[in-house]
Each structure stands twice: as structure tokens, then as C-alpha cells.
Amino acid sequence: MTEEARPESPDIPAAEFEDSDLLRPIVESGVGFRVTSSLLLLVLLTGWVIFGRQLLYGLGVTGLNQPVAWGFYIVNFVFFIGISHAGTLISAILRLSQAEWRRPITRMAEVITVVVLAIGAFHPVLDLGRPDRALNIFTAGRLQSPLLWDVSSISAYFMASTVYLYIPMIPDIAILRDRGVWPHWFYTFLAWGWEGTPRQHAVLERAVSILMVLVIPIAVSVHTVISYIFAMTLQPGWHSTIFGPYFVVGAIFSGIAALMMVMIVLRRVFHLERYLKQVHFDYLSRLLLIMSLLWFYFTFSEYLTAFFGNEPSEMRVFFYKVSGPYAPFFWAMVVTNFLIPVLILSFRRTRTIPGIFIASLSVVIGMWLERLNIVVPSLANPRLPLPTGYYIPGLVEWVMFAGGIATFILGFVIFARFFPLISVWEIEEGRRLSVAETTERLEGYLPDPLPSAPGQPVSEGG
């Protein structure tokens, strides 16, 4: 709600401007926001109550047991951290490659990272019977343990992603400040004195350039390190040299799918059809198709190696997945991660926005199943001579899962209430500068003209 008239920003006039509709969810939020956030808060609160019960009675209230001590919580941890690759990594790659179509996408992608990373990072704490003991890592942590590598890499990624989200948001925050949007002090505080001067623009661009280079290796390292939690053990099905890249590919794959789902939903809810056009979905869906093929290649290599080796403990895990109790989940994973997206995205006729939504939803479900297929079967069939384990998630895990998803949606709802989901200043900058810059760049790609003047013969000696 606008409270007071503010003088105009040097970048964007205070009155109605071409991209005013990007600020509409902020200045005109109403009943929809309150109802949605209340419902989501209710789900979240239920999750916390259930977690409180788990704290009181211990992990016995879950379906976790011996030897399957990691269930939904670790599956969701890996899944959510994977989704987080949607944002900062994709945004950084698109910025670095100067892909002009990135402009309406990057902000949403970056928000996904920050929100989902926070949710994912909390899941290992849920998996602890005594979460208070997690504090022992401050005094007696073992830095040579992959678990602690995770703590440091996820913290670093969270920090870098938050900074990477915040810094390009400063000019937009200044627009909200200058338009007197409530809470005015909050926007003044976050705008950091932005006036849109050339020097400030230069500082901002330099900082974003440093961050986008920094963020890519961190993002890759995060999911590699997560794979090390599994790969550094001698458990059958986990001890694999390709787990690092396999996890990174899976993370980018699920990240792109989640990003497209978010884009399609927000496009409809906030009427962003002018900004999120078919071409954006078309480009991202081609990327999703490539990732689907790449995922299949990695999966095939991973399972073929295990099968060909014919090592007894590996084979127990293998058959547990392909023809045992986990066969429905395994084959559902193959169908949702490979068959459905490839069939939908390969043909122009089905590569429509509803088609892309179905393909993306299929991939998100499939990647969750993939995490389930990695975590549970190996624990149920340990290398030690123990009877085969089982895992049936209890109500507690399902409620906590719902709480995680509710937190994700709530994070977006709250963000959209206070900040533009599409970068206003970058769109405006694109309109002003992109065409000229892109033309110049394209001319740079073309072969240089011949040194002689047109119409004159070229001598062989130069």
C-alpha cells in the first residue's frame, strides 16, 4: 500500500511506467495473500507440532529403523538441495553467457535457491533423535567427515546465493522505496542508498560479475559433496566414482523442472504473460530435454557397471530395485524422468506450456523417486550379513514432507508480497541496451570483412 508520495528514482519514474504490473502484487496484495499464507502457515505449524512430538518420543514415532536409519528426511534433504540448483547456478550460467532471454527468469530462479536451500539444510536436523547434539559439531566436529563438508559447503552456497539474490535486487528495492511502498523504512534500509548513479551501476555490475563466477563452482561442489555422503562409504549401490557428477546432473535436471513449474504457476497467478513468453519456456524445455538424456546416460552407466560386476552385495541392491520391493519406484523413476519428458519435449506440438508443466512435474516427482531409490535400497541391503531391511514412512514423515513443501510455497508467497518476482531494472535495461549490444555482439561473431574496399579485386599476396 502506498503511504506517502516519494520523489522519483533516476532509473524508473515514480508514476505509472511500462512495468508497473510487476509491482502490483506488492502494492495491491489483499485477501488472496492472507488466505494463502494462513493456510500454508497452518500446514507448517502442523509440521512443527509433529516435530515436537518426535522430539518428545524419539525417532520411534517415524518409520525409521535399523538398518534403514535414513528415510524420507535424508531423501528430502538431497531432493531439496538438488532443486536449489535451479536458481543460482542456472542464473549465473545465463548471466555469464550473456543470454538476453534470462532477464525475466533469473530472479525467480535465485529465490528458489535461497528458499529451498534453507528447507533442505534443515532436514538432517529432523533426522536426529537428539537435535541438541548437533551443537557438538562446534566443539568436536571432524572436518574430515563428508557430513561436515556438507555443512561448510551448504553454508557457503547459502551465503553466496543470498548475496547473489540481494545485490541485483537493490535497484528494484530503491524503486519501491521511492514509490513510498510500505514498510518504507524496510526498503530504505535494504536499498543501501541506491540512487542509480553511473558509479553505483558500475559497482553493482562488478559485484554481480564476481559473484556469478564464484557461485558456479560452489553450486557444483555442493551437490558433489552431498553425493560424497553416500559415495565415501563402502555400502553397495553407493560406492561409485560417478556419484559426484551423477548428483550434479540430477540436481540441475530437477532444478530446471522446478523452475519451469514455478514460472508457469506464477505467470498464471500474477498475469506475467507479457514477460514469461513461450520462447522462455521453449529454451528452458530444450535444456530440460538435454538434461533428461544426460540423466538417462548416467543412470544407465551406473546400473550397467553394477550389473556387469556381478558382485553379490551389489546385486542384492540391484535386484531389490529392478525386480524387488522397490521395482515400482524404480520403473516409475525411469518413466517420469525419461519417457514422459522426452516424449513431451521432443515434439513441437506437445511442447506447449501445459505440456511443459506436465513434463516438469513428472521430472520433479521422478527425481524425488530417484533420491528414494538411492537412499533406501542400499540401507535395506547392507554389506554386513544382516537380514534385508524395510522402510515404510509413517504419518510423521509425510506431514514433515508436506511442511517442507508448504514452506517452499510460503517462501515464494512472502517474497512476492515484498519484492518483484521479475527484475524491473534488468527488464528496463534490456529494453534500452540489449538490442544494440546483441547486434554488436552478433556482428562480432561474423567473419571480418575483407580488407579491400568492396568492388575491388583482392590481390593474392594480401
Partner 1 sequence: MARQAEPKWIFALQVASVCAIWVFVLGISAWIVHLLRLSHRLHDVPSASVGISIVAIPVFLTGASVLTYVFVGLQRGRQAAGKPILEPEEG
Interface with partner 1 in residues 111-140 (CB under 8 A)? 138, 140
Binding status of residue 311 toward partner 1 by CB under 8 A: no
**Single residue of 35, 42, 45, 203 touching partner 1 by CB under 8 A:** 203
Binding status of residue 232 toward partner 1 by CB under 8 A: no
Neighbours of 100 (CB within 10 A): 14
DSSP code, position 129: S
For 362, the grid coordinates are 513428472
Closest approach, Cβ 225 to partner 1, in A, equals: 10
Only segment of 143-151, 311-319, 393-401, 421-429 that touches partner 1 (CB under 8 A)? 143-151
| Nearer of residues 7 and 461 to partner 1, judged by Cβ | 7
| Nearer of residues 186 and 331 to partner 1, judged by Cβ | 186
**Could you check whether the bond before residue 183 is cis, i.e. omega within 30 degrees of 0?**
yes
SS3 content of the chain, % helix, strand, coil (to 5): 70, 0, 25
Binding status of residue 214 toward partner 1 by CB under 8 A: yes
From residue 79, alpha-carbon distances to 7, 173, 181, 368 in Å are 46, 32, 37, 6
Closest approach, Cβ 193 to partner 1, in A, equals: 5
Closest approach, Cβ 142 to partner 1, in A, equals: 7
Binding status of residue 193 toward partner 1 by CB under 8 A: yes
* Cβ-proximal residues to 446 (8 Å cutoff; 6+ apart), any chain: none
Binding status of residue 7 toward partner 1 by CB under 8 A: yes
* Cβ-proximal residues to 343 (8 Å cutoff; 6+ apart), any chain: 350
Helix (H, G, I), strand (E, B) or coil at 398: helix
| Nearer of residues 56 and 140 to partner 1, judged by Cβ | 140
Q: What is the CA radius of gyration of the chain?
A: 25
Closest approach, Cβ 318 to partner 1, in A, equals: 31
* Cβ-proximal residues to 211 (8 Å cutoff; 6+ apart), any chain: 92, 160, 163, 164, 167
| Nearer of residues 52 and 217 to partner 1, judged by Cβ | 217
**Single residue of 131, 141, 324, 394 touching partner 1 by CB under 8 A:** 141
Interface with partner 1 in residues 152-191 (CB under 8 A)? 152-153, 155-156, 159-160, 163, 167, 170, 178, 185, 188-189
| Nearer of residues 45 and 203 to partner 1, judged by Cβ | 203
Closest approach, Cβ 125 to partner 1, in A, equals: 18
Size of the site for partner 1 (CB under 8 A): 43
Q: Which amino acid is at 250?
A: G
Element (H, E) at 328: helix 327-334
Distance between CA atoms of 26 and 2, rounded to whole angstroms? Answer: 10
Distance between CA atoms of 434 and 412, rounded to whole angstroms? Answer: 29
* Cβ-proximal residues to 126 (8 Å cutoff; 6+ apart), any chain: 51, 54, 73, 400
| Nearer of residues 155 and 278 to partner 1, judged by Cβ | 155
**Single residue of 29, 200, 240, 350 touching partner 1 by CB under 8 A:** 200
* Cβ-proximal residues to 157 (8 Å cutoff; 6+ apart), any chain: 84, 88, 117, 215, 218, 219, 221, 222
Binding status of residue 148 toward partner 1 by CB under 8 A: yes
Applying CB under 8 A, which residues contact partner 1? 6-9, 138, 140-144, 148-149, 152-153, 155-156, 159-160, 163, 167, 170, 178, 185, 188-189, 192-195, 197-200, 202-204, 206-207, 210-211, 214, 218, 221
